Amino acid sequence: MTVTRRIGLLGGTFDPIHTGHLDVARAAQRQLELTAVHVLPAHVPPHRPQPVASAFHRFAMVSIAVAGVKGWRASDLELRMPVPSYTAHTLQHYRERGYAADELFFLIGADAFREIHQWHDYPAILDAARFVVVSRPGFPVSDTGAARSSVSDTGAIFDTGAIFIRADTADVSSSAIRRARAEGRSIAGMVPPGVQQHIEQHGLYTPMPPERRPEEHRGSAAADRLHGEN
């Protein structure tokens, strides 16, 4: 008997992972009946500085966020791949493992999808998986399930074949969380409780004198978008 596989892939810097990220994945799983959701922290996002938190801490926070959720798992795939972390390479890896394009559902916020034409290997990347675009605060989508077109740098228009989902997702960003921590404000409700505990326990995103700053705190701000490529 053939087993139906509908794998949701949620990528991002996750510096840190927050409730908005999780809302996107939940909306997609609910609408599309995904059999699994893989959450993949990026190693180094393209054209962006090194993330503030180390790969160890970002993977740990993702693992905490998905713990106990049926069918969800944290994947260190991109952390083990050469940098920078291109979505095209990630999808190619899944294809090489035997997944068909129509079994892969790449989950992305509507804000990041607006810049899909700037991603590496565009527009070929659109054929490597089904792109699932979920509304984000300030970035609505109109008709759920409708296909949209995208314009490349050359002006060519491509049918993305994407799935669009309207959903209520938390109005929060990784940069807002880091800013709150730097200013000594609470981040309760912005991240899952276990992630908040990890951040506070390890003193992540708080300003420290350079001579006392652990390696994972060094570096400048990283991408907030849901797997933004630019």
CA pair distance 42, 72, nearest whole angstrom:
17
pTM, 2 dp: 0.84
> How many domains does the structure of the chain reveal?
1
In a domain, 2, yes or no: no
Q: Phi/psi of residue 10, each to 5°?
A: -115, 110
Q: Quote the percentage of the chain above a pLDDT of 90.
A: 68
Q: Phi/psi of residue 48, each to 5°?
A: -130, 155
Residues 7-61 pLDDT 10s: 999 999 999 999 999 999 999 999 999 999 999 999 987 766 689 999 999 999 9
In a domain, 217, yes or no: no
In a domain, 185, yes or no: no
Beta-strand pair 157-159/149-151: antiparallel
pLDDT band, very low/low/confident/very high, at 157 (cuts 50, 70, 90) = very low
134-162 mean pLDDT: 64
In a domain, 20, yes or no: yes
For residues 7, 13, 19 and 23, what is the CA-based torsion angle, rounded to 10 degrees?
Answer: -30
In a domain, 73, yes or no: yes
- Residue 49 domain boundaries: 7-173
Residues 91-111 pLDDT 10s: 999 999 999 999 999 999 998
What CATH code is carried by the domain that includes residue 65?
3.40.50.620
In a domain, 191, yes or no: no
> H or E element: which one contains 93?
helix 87-96
pLDDT band, very low/low/confident/very high, at 125 (cuts 50, 70, 90) = very high
In a domain, 213, yes or no: no
Exposed / middle / buried, residue 210 (Cβ in 10 Å: 0-12, 13-18, 19+): exposed
In a domain, 160, yes or no: yes
175-186 mean pLDDT: 96
Whether 43 contacts 13, CB under 8 Å: no
